[in-house]
Structure 1
Amino acid sequence: MPDSLQRLFNVRPEERLPVLLAVLFFFCVLTALMVLRPAREALGLRGGIEAVRWLFMGTALVTLLVNPLFGLLVSRLPRLRFIAATYLFFAASLGAFYLLMTLAPGAVGVASGQVFYVWFSVFNLFVTMLFWALMADRFSLAQGKRFFGLIAVGGTCGAIFGPWLAGRLAEPLGTPALLLVAIGFLLLALTAACGVALCQPHRPRESDDEAPVVEERERIGGSAWAGLRALTRSRYLLGIAAYVVILAIMATFLYFTRLQMVAALGDDLDLRTAWFARIDLITQVATLVMQALVAGHLMKRLGVAFTLALLLLPMTTLLGFIGLAMVGSLAALIAFEAVFRAVQRALMRPARETLYTVTSREEKYKAKAAIDTFVYRAGDVVGAQVEGALGRLGMGLAAVASVAVPLALAWAALALAWAALALWLGRTQGHIAAEADAPASTTTLDSQGRPS
């Protein structure tokens, strides 16, 4: 690791290996996802925009059904085993889709494309959720503040490499070849995950700056439904869930605007795949620039609460929809999405993930899974149905964007409440961390992070 990066993110010599493995882990995960995402979008569009809105609802239902199964896996297996089982399952299912698309291409139609769309949406959420859960479990709160930004840069590099690779391979080799590429990167990600988990600190934990020691053979235990129950009982987790829903609804408006513009370019599957890849590439480059210039400094200087409380995202949404309504071009959409995703992923995501570093191990994997999968998709469903209702009124794309402007204004007007929520989350995180550092004989915490 270059000395300049070590100084920028304050990475200590003993932290170099796990941090580098974490960067490689996230790079491989995002490469696997972003190689496939353009194909997912193109296959989903075969049934039309209205069908995609209902696919959002189907995805939310599937994530609700899968969560207790994943919770059972977490309860019964040690950490590395349930992570490996999840990644290998998705790799095997990718292989099945590849065989279907190559051996029986006639069977690849609207229905199978919709199945792949829902499957990928679930796959996307679970592999990224598991990555950040392992990060919150492997590193302490202080470490997360110092180099979660650097780890996120690794993911962004993968998210840039993935669309670039998809754009180069989609037309000459065909869309099915992208699935094999994704399988390879998914297996590399699993290898890096094992390295991150096994790089344990060599001394007992003495301060918040040191990573917690985890016994890899230890099972988390508990119920398969513990994640959903913890979410309903903990105000801390409910606050994070509310934050996720707000982001998901506005991101869904932007997503369907993108689908409609690309759908207007033509019906060819490979053409759409290539266009989605180009848009993703531009978006991720903007995210990388934001991470390199702003994110690390902001996290270190202002802390989690103030980073979450920034009004950049609602203001970006407001100005972006106004610009889109005025111009209504694909170039304007790309610029809007690039800035929106850059602010969301470079600033908000690393800050939000540090909030989990002070939760219990069961909450890190089970409650986090419920929030990052089902709760997030529930926000998607709300956004998709509202956008669909506007579309059924017979409005054109520019008119739909114009109607979205007052919704963005309303979100900006609620920014103070949103900022208050973020500040409360950050303060609560600090209280939980402080209580956790207190002697175990004098203080314990209940499920809501309060002294009992």
Structure 2
Amino acid sequence: MTTWQQRLFDVRRDEVLPVCLAVLFFFCVLVALMILRPAREALGLRGGIDAVRWLFMGTAVVTLLVNPLFGWLVSRLPRLQFISATYAFFACSLVGFFLLLVLAPAAVGVVSGLVFYVWFSVFNLFATMVFWALMADRFTLEQGKRFFGLIAVGGTLGAIAGPWLASQLATPLGTPTLLLVSAGFLAAGLAAAWGIARVRPLLPAATPGDAVATVDAQAPIGGSAWAGVRAVFGSRYLLGIAAYVVILAVMATFLYFTRLQMVAELGDDLDLRTTVFARIDLITQVATLLLQALVAGRLMQWVGVPLTLALLPLTTALGFIGLALVGSLAALIAFEASFRAVQRALMRPARETLFTVLHREDKYKAKAFIDTFVYRGGDVIGAQLEGLLGRLGMGLAALASVAVPLALMWAVLALWLGRTQQAMAESLAAEGSGPERAALPRSSS
């Protein structure tokens, strides 16, 4: 890389290959997800908004059931093998749905659409969770601050390319074929993951918090299938991350159901709803890309992880106040674009750095529990609370009266997490870098 490129992206020469592979990996994962997401939303609405609330609960139950299986894979298989097994399972599921659509189209109805909704929601959570778990395992805290935002650009580009590919391929190839295209991108992402894991290991860094364990990446991590659950409830730090994720999910769910209701008022036409959802996704992804390109790469270094984590709660509080005052679809689109852009461009990379200071087992098992079941648990809470406010005949003003105080509490939690992370990083650096870190006990901070 030339000097100006190094200054622009803040990536050293020896980091270029793994970072490029990470960008490609995330791009492929998001294309695989977003090429199918508009259809998921439209199919979910077929049963009505109340049915979607129950689908959130069904998704939470399924993620709880899948977690011990994923924990077992992490305990028994080397890193690349359990990552491969996870993506291979979802790719094979996509092929199964394709065969159902092609060979037995008459069997596709409301029930099968709801099944696909739940399956896709689980797929979405695990696909992104495994990606970021590998990033937290592969890169140090200092590196995460420098280029997790850059890596997230790959996901945003994939999220833009996915709906565009769907619009270009659906008519000539047919909608069922999109499932095979999604499976193909998963396979390409998996190839990039193997490349990330196999490029030469990083040298231990001298900056506080950047100690890297020189462990055998090919050896199974070990432990029990339920170790991640126990770790979360045994650590104040992990409980704090879980609480942050719950509030994030509640806020996202408030916004999600507000969008569903406004789009449902436009009419019952499936194609119209799919088009509107796709357009909202496109606007959101473009806003995210602009934010990532302008500030994401440097923000964590400029203001630190605590303030970066607090930006989304503050954006949410202002957004719900504005939505309560205006209450139009245009205002909703502006709020959602801002919310998603800050979430994906700024908050998500910052949140993923929280896991870089954890024991290696927690980076996969505890993270899996938090990013899947805990997140979906927050969805359920948000869906039921929003439904209760709706049944009481309370509108956007009542929703804002709940969301704004919760967002302020969320901001305080963000600041605590960021400061605790820095304290843990300094403690790890004081304990020593190198092989010793692999044996460090889980922190109860």
Tell me the C-alpha RMSD between the 2 structures. 2.3
Taking structure 1 as reference, are residues 131 and 69 closer, same or farther at Cα in structure 2, changes over 3 Å only? same
Matches within 5 A, 1:37-76: 37-76=37-76
Structure 1 Cα separation of the partners of residues 166 and 150 of structure 2: 25
Report which stretch shifted further, 333-342 or 167-176: 167-176
Write the letter of the residue equivalent to 1:297. Answer: R
For residues 138-170 of structure 1, what are the alpha-carbon distances to aligned partners after superposition, in whole Å with 9 as ceiling and x for unaligned? 111111111111101111111111122224444
Taking structure 1 as reference, are residues 181 and 5 closer, same or farther at Cα in structure 2, changes over 3 Å only? farther
Structure 1 Cα separation of the partners of residues 244 and 191 of structure 2: 32
Structure 2 Cα separation of the partners of residues 169 and 222 of structure 1: 45
Is the contact made by 1:171 and 1:270 (CA closer than 8 Å) also made in structure 2? no
Taking structure 1 as reference, are residues 439 and 133 closer, same or farther at Cα in structure 2, changes over 3 Å only? closer
For residues 75-100 of structure 1, what are the alpha-carbon distances to aligned partners after superposition, in whole Å with 9 as ceiling and x for unaligned? 11100011011101000001111111
Structure 2 Cα separation of the partners of residues 441 and 272 of structure 1: 55
Please list every run of 5 or more consecutive structure 2 residues that lacks an aligned counterpart in the other structure: none
Structure 1 Cα separation of the partners of residues 38 and 386 of structure 2: 22
1:199 equivalent in structure 2: 199
Report which stretch shifted further, 147-156 or 429-438: 429-438
Structure 2 Cα separation of the partners of residues 156 and 442 of structure 1: 34
Matches within 5 A, 1:310-349: 310=310, 312-349=311-348
Write the letter of the residue equivalent to 1:411. Answer: L
1:181 is displaced (CA, Å) by 1.8
2:278 equivalent in structure 1: 277
SS of 1:56's partner is helix
Percent identity between the aligned chains? 68
Structure 1 Cα separation of the partners of residues 5 and 87 of structure 2: 30
For residues 343-400 of structure 1, what are the alpha-carbon distances to aligned partners after superposition, in whole Å with 9 as ceiling and x for unaligned? 111111101101111211110110000000011111110000001112223x3xxx52
Structure 2 Cα separation of the partners of residues 279 and 5 of structure 1: 33
For residues 201-248 of structure 1, what are the alpha-carbon distances to aligned partners after superposition, in whole Å with 9 as ceiling and x for unaligned? 3x7535356865453421111101111011111111111111111111
Matches within 5 A, 1:116-135: 116-135=116-135
Structure 2 Cα separation of the partners of residues 189 and 40 of structure 1: 22
Of the three residues 394, 402, 406, the one matched with 1:407 is 402
SS of 1:218's partner is coil
For residues 391-435 of structure 1, what are the alpha-carbon distances to aligned partners after superposition, in whole Å with 9 as ceiling and x for unaligned? 223x3xxx5222111112212443563344334433344234324
1:225 equivalent in structure 2: 226
Write the letter of the residue equivalent to 2:186. Answer: L
Taking structure 1 as reference, are residues 412 and 86 closer, same or farther at Cα in structure 2, changes over 3 Å only? closer
Structure 2 Cα separation of the partners of residues 80 and 444 of structure 1: 21
1:388 equivalent in structure 2: 387
1:102 is displaced (CA, Å) by 2.2
Is the contact made by 2:211 and 2:428 (CA closer than 8 Å) also made in structure 1? no
1:426 equivalent in structure 2: 421
TM-score, normalised relative to structure 2: 0.93
SS of 2:442's partner is coil
Structure 2 Cα separation of the partners of residues 256 and 265 of structure 1: 15
2:302 equivalent in structure 1: 301
For residues 163-220 of structure 1, what are the alpha-carbon distances to aligned partners after superposition, in whole Å with 9 as ceiling and x for unaligned? 222244446655323212211111111111111111123x753535686545342111
Taking structure 1 as reference, are residues 325 and 175 closer, same or farther at Cα in structure 2, changes over 3 Å only? farther
Structure 2 Cα separation of the partners of residues 2 and 100 of structure 1: 51
Write the letter of the residue equivalent to 1:350. Answer: P
Is the contact made by 1:169 and 1:178 (CA closer than 8 Å) also made in structure 2? yes
Is the contact made by 1:35 and 1:165 (CA closer than 8 Å) also made in structure 2? yes
Taking structure 1 as reference, are residues 111 and 150 closer, same or farther at Cα in structure 2, changes over 3 Å only? same
Is the contact made by 1:171 and 1:271 (CA closer than 8 Å) also made in structure 2? no
SS of 2:36's partner is helix
Write the letter of the residue equivalent to 1:374. Answer: F
For residues 287-310 of structure 1, what are the alpha-carbon distances to aligned partners after superposition, in whole Å with 9 as ceiling and x for unaligned? 1111111212211222223322x3
Taking structure 1 as reference, are residues 429 and 279 closer, same or farther at Cα in structure 2, changes over 3 Å only? farther
SS of 2:23's partner is helix
SS of 1:11's partner is coil
Taking structure 1 as reference, are residues 440 and 220 closer, same or farther at Cα in structure 2, changes over 3 Å only? closer
Is the contact made by 1:325 and 1:401 (CA closer than 8 Å) also made in structure 2? yes
TM-score, normalised relative to structure 1: 0.92
2:260 equivalent in structure 1: 259
Structure 1 Cα separation of the partners of residues 275 and 438 of structure 2: 56
Please list every run of 5 or more consecutive structure 1 residues that lacks an aligned counterpart in the other structure: none
Taking structure 1 as reference, are residues 441 and 90 closer, same or farther at Cα in structure 2, changes over 3 Å only? closer
2:412 equivalent in structure 1: 417
Taking structure 1 as reference, are residues 3 and 183 closer, same or farther at Cα in structure 2, changes over 3 Å only? farther
2:9 equivalent in structure 1: 9
Structure 1 Cα separation of the partners of residues 2 and 96 of structure 2: 41
For residues 320-357 of structure 1, what are the alpha-carbon distances to aligned partners after superposition, in whole Å with 9 as ceiling and x for unaligned? 22333343332221111000111111111101101111
Structure 1 Cα separation of the partners of residues 204 and 434 of structure 2: 13
Structure 1 Cα separation of the partners of residues 241 and 35 of structure 2: 29
Taking structure 1 as reference, are residues 425 and 156 closer, same or farther at Cα in structure 2, changes over 3 Å only? farther
Structure 2 Cα separation of the partners of residues 2 and 54 of structure 1: 53
Is the contact made by 1:133 and 1:368 (CA closer than 8 Å) also made in structure 2? yes
Write the letter of the residue equivalent to 2:247. Answer: I
1:444 is displaced (CA, Å) by 7.0
Taking structure 1 as reference, are residues 99 and 267 closer, same or farther at Cα in structure 2, changes over 3 Å only? farther
Structure 1 Cα separation of the partners of residues 31 and 51 of structure 2: 27
